[in-house]
Structure 1
Amino acid sequence: MKKIMLALVYTALALGANPSFGQSADIKPLRDGDMKKLVVHDSPVATSSVAFQLEDDGGETTLEAWQGKYVLINFWATWCAPCRKEMPQLNALQKEFGGDDFEVLTIATGRNTPDGIKRFFADAGVDSLPRHQDPKQALASQMGIFGLPITVVMDPEGREIARLRGDADWSSDSAKAIVQALIAGKADS
């Protein structure tokens, strides 16, 4: 009996000491409307270390460069109609919440020319998001990105904690509440 009690106490302490576990669980009740499509993982999942291209021929990087903050990674393409709809909302989310604890990262996957991406952003009024590319879909493939748009939430340790398939209303109160909860959790840890 004593061993069982110690095991339960140890498990409770281990779960409580894992900030990502608590934060992932905390955002579940905040999902409403389109955000109900946000699948919050029971435990964090490793992301890929495959390199992708930085905007304006800035070289290559990996998702590891964004560790230390929550990142909303949006995989999209210039031909994707739902992407056109949600990109201005993601831009507004970055303007409102982007900073040391949170960032919206956009990665155009597949055949998207740099000029085409610039036109897409200009037409959509997007001025606060990066224009990174994954032209050979290496990162997208490694992360199981099939169909667009797909948005992945990465925790400060660089692990995937949630995923949303398809477009969503990123200007909704629910989306903003989720981002605020993540930022608040980061500030507390």
Structure 2
Amino acid sequence: MTNDMPESPSPATAPTRRIPYVIGAVVIGAVIGFAGVYGFGSLKRNTSGDSACAGAVNLASKISPLAHGEVAALTMATAPLRLPDLTFDDADGKPKKLSDWRGKTVLVNLWATWCVPCRKEMPALDRLQTRLGGKDFEVVAINIDTRDPEKPKNFLKDAKLTRLGYFNDEKAKVFQDLKAIDRALGMPTSVLIDGQGCEIATIAGPAEWDSEDAIKLINAATATGS
């Protein structure tokens, strides 16, 4: 896959468990100190973590048979991992933290307008939020465009994606924070977390989030994790 940024480093290849192809390139400006990375379907699994997140690992094991079809590329958690308390801004520029969603099952998604797979995925995320968003579940899609702050807002408006809340991080620190724990190797990246902020599953690349496969898995995660 490609993105529409002018820079395009040569892709590297690596073995994967689920997606045998490069899912996209990340090219982020010098403001955050690196050029580009390629993301792949499989992710490194930490062998140690927060023991309080053992319940999320058990949940991942229970719902893993549902990770097929349109969500077959999900990598289910096999070791307890609490995500960093990611910080970003809302549409009004007010600071938000991932912990603001404690008690809810959350699908954290990182996207950018220059990422072609991200743009294609956004309507499905909007429909997922329309169908399941509420007191028990929410899609938290965080934009990491580092240039024109109006461009992602205009994209959502033009595409009539009205159900997703707008969140952004113009420094793309959320990407760096997830990359530091091997949960962001490309764009888009999505992490399904439980109400304690613990990883249930991660996917590097797009998914059909409004498919019946995705709906069944997320409903199971929400019901079992509540």
Normalising by structure 2, we get a TM-score of 0.70
| Contact in 2 for aligned 1:49/1:62 (Cα 8 Å) | yes
**Partner Cα separation in structure 1 for residue 77 and residue 210 of structure 2:** 23
What displacement does 1:112 show? 5.0
The percent of aligned pairs where both chains have the same amino acid is 36
Specify the alignment match of 1:24 in structure 2. 60
Stretches of 4+ aligned residues off by more than 4 angstroms: none
What displacement does 1:119 show? 1.2
The alignment's C-alpha RMSD in Å is: 1.7
1:146 has 2:181 as partner: no
1:43 has 2:79 as partner: yes
1:65-85, Cα deviation, whole Å (9 max, x unpaired): 111010001100011111111
1:120 has 2:155 as partner: yes
| Contact in 2 for aligned 1:76/1:83 (Cα 8 Å) | yes
Aligned residues: 170
**Partner Cα separation in structure 2 for residue 50 and residue 103 of structure 1:** 16
**Partner Cα separation in structure 2 for residue 113 and residue 107 of structure 1:** 15
From the two aligned structures, give the one with the greater strand fraction. Answer: 1
1:60 has 2:98 as partner: no
What displacement does 1:35 show? 0.8
1:161 has 2:200 as partner: yes
2:121 to 86, 90, 96: 86
Specify the alignment match of 1:185 in structure 2. 224
| Contact in 2 for aligned 1:84/1:124 (Cα 8 Å) | no
1:97-136, Cα deviation, whole Å (9 max, x unpaired): 1111100000011415332112111222210111111111
| Contact in 1 for aligned 2:109/2:139 (Cα 8 Å) | yes
Structure with greater Cα Rg: 1
From the two aligned structures, give the one with the greater helix fraction. Answer: 1
User: Structure 1 counterpart of 2:166, which letter?
Assistant: R
**Partner Cα separation in structure 1 for residue 213 and residue 199 of structure 2:** 20
Structure 2 unpaired stretches of 5+: 1-53
Normalising by structure 1, we get a TM-score of 0.83
Structure 1 unpaired stretches of 5+: 1-17
2:211 to 168, 172, 181: 172
1:99 has 2:134 as partner: yes
**Partner Cα separation in structure 1 for residue 134 and residue 147 of structure 2:** 27
| Contact in 1 for aligned 2:142/2:167 (Cα 8 Å) | yes
